[in-house]
Amino acid sequence: MHASAKLLFAFTVLFSVSKVAAECTRFSTNGSTAATYQFHRFYDFRNLHESLSRIATSTSLNDAIPNSASSKIISAAPWGSGWNARKWFRPAPRKDTVDMQYTPSSISISEVSEPSQEDSTCLSLHTTRLPNGTQLASELQFTEYNVTYASIRMSARIHGVSGAIAGFFTYRNDTAESDIELPTGGAANSVHFSNQPTTNPSTDAPIQGSTFNVSLSADQPTSTWNNYRLDWVKGRSAWYVNGVQSADTEVNVPDAESMIILNLWSNGGNFSGRMDTGGEAWFDIQWVELLFNATAGSEVQYDETACSVESSLGSPVPNASPAPCWWLSASRFWWMIGMASVASLTVCV
């Protein structure tokens, strides 16, 4: 499934943060948690093969491949300006769990050996249990902004031995956290959607409505590419798989600024399971799309154009307006010059 060659090259050049249409100043979503957001980011890892070859011939591998600690690749822009690969030792919290070492070198751009040439690469997070008992793990934190509400989406798959959890989630602290979690163990099609905490900290009793064990359809197990989406709006969380809502709740919905995190971990505990020495697992990601609000971004926009993110991946398009051509204001008139006929056909219908 996975090409053996791991390509740990320049996030710098490799990756494209797509530019949104210049006109879009708000971004809208659909579903039961439909909302608008101030910010949109799209990170596409699917077509980096050509760039990989280019870099392979022009970059010294010794410089490019991080052997342990900090990867200058990952710390380089534009990835580095928005994401941080953690280097973090997390000692076992209890006797019956294991130490974890989060390390940037566990994160790479990998080749995907699939018939489709177009989707030949992905972002790959890796985890493995070392002979000394420590679990090497991976974590990327979105650091451009902490977010207040958000709709976070990815196309992802997991593979490898059981005992690890792939996470895509919002995090402030252990009681303000909203999760998509894909376990490498258990049923091949089971995923967890949760707002933390899921158990009462003093009694350990489960908290009703805080967590959902969802089964994907049998022909789309978590080892195949699926689209996962978590919407966090005021007072409500909803989770979608492949465009269809599969869980929602008003329990434990976070209400404070949070980070967005991608990770792959195993602490040897009951939830993740425990790997044997030498065990390995991967969390592969084709693209990540983030819509969010942030406290830092609340300046008033006078000239607003809401764009929908739902119809074309990564490229928001202006919403069809309820009142025809409402946006043909004086301030936009220049834009229409020379495009009037095309624009009026496509937008003002």
Ligand X SMILES: *[C@@H]1O[C@H](CO)[C@@H](O)[C@H](O)[C@H]1NC(C)=O
Residue numbers of the site for ligand X (CB under 6 A)? 30-31, 35-38, 94, 96-97, 99, 101, 130, 132, 134, 143, 145-146, 149, 172-176, 186, 211, 213, 233-234, 240, 243, 245, 256, 259, 269-270, 293, 298, 310-311
Which whole-number Å values give the CA distances from 51 to 13, 100, 108, 270, 331, in the listed order? 7, 33, 14, 41, 40
Q: Shortest gap between Cβ of 11 and ligand X (angstroms)? A: 19
Considering beta carbons, is residue 112 or 176 the nearer one to ligand X? 176
The owner of tokens 């089971």 is: 190
Considering beta carbons, is residue 31 or 80 the nearer one to ligand X? 31
Q: Are 221 and 196 in contact (CB under 8 A)?
A: no
**What ranges in the chain are assigned the alpha helix state H?**
11-14, 49-58, 61-64, 72-75, 79-82, 330-336, 340-347
Q: Shortest gap between Cβ of 291 and ligand X (angstroms)? A: 9
> In one letter, which amino acid is 284?
D
Q: CA-CA distance, 243 to 167, in Å (whole number)?
A: 19
CA-only gyration radius of the chain, Å: 21
Give the residue among 288, 303, 347 at the shortest CA–CA distance from 24: 303
Considering beta carbons, is residue 9 or 168 the nearer one to ligand X? 168
Q: Shortest gap between Cβ of 56 and ligand X (angstroms)? A: 27
Helix (H, G, I), strand (E, B) or coil at 78: coil
| Antiparallel, parallel or unpaired: β 306-308 and 26-28 | parallel
Q: Fill in the DSSP letter of residue 209.
A: T
DSSP 152-170: EEEEEEEEESSS-EEEEEE
Considering beta carbons, is residue 48 or 268 the nearer one to ligand X? 268
Phi and psi, residue 41, nearest 5°? -135, 140
Considering beta carbons, is residue 186 or 314 the nearer one to ligand X? 186
Helix (H, G, I), strand (E, B) or coil at 217: coil
Q: Shortest gap between Cβ of 233 and ligand X (angstroms)? A: 4
Considering beta carbons, is residue 23 or 310 the nearer one to ligand X? 310
Q: Shortest gap between Cβ of 333 and ligand X (angstroms)? A: 25
Considering beta carbons, is residue 175 or 200 the nearer one to ligand X? 175
What's the CA angle centered on 71, arms 78 and 133, to 5 degrees? 135
Q: Shortest gap between Cβ of 141 and ligand X (angstroms)? A: 9
Considering beta carbons, is residue 160 or 254 the nearer one to ligand X? 254
Q: Shortest gap between Cβ of 3 and ligand X (angstroms)? A: 25
321's CB contacts (< 8 A; 6+ apart) are 327, 347, 348
Q: Shortest gap between Cβ of 160 and ligand X (angstroms)? A: 18
Give the residue among 192, 343, 324, 337 at the shortest CA–CA distance from 271: 192
Q: Shortest gap between Cβ of 49 and ligand X (angstroms)? A: 27
Considering beta carbons, is residue 13 or 130 the nearer one to ligand X? 130
Phi and psi, residue 75, nearest 5°? -85, 0
Q: CA-CA distance, 88 to 319, in Å (whole number)?
A: 43
Residue with the shortest CB distance to ligand X: 243
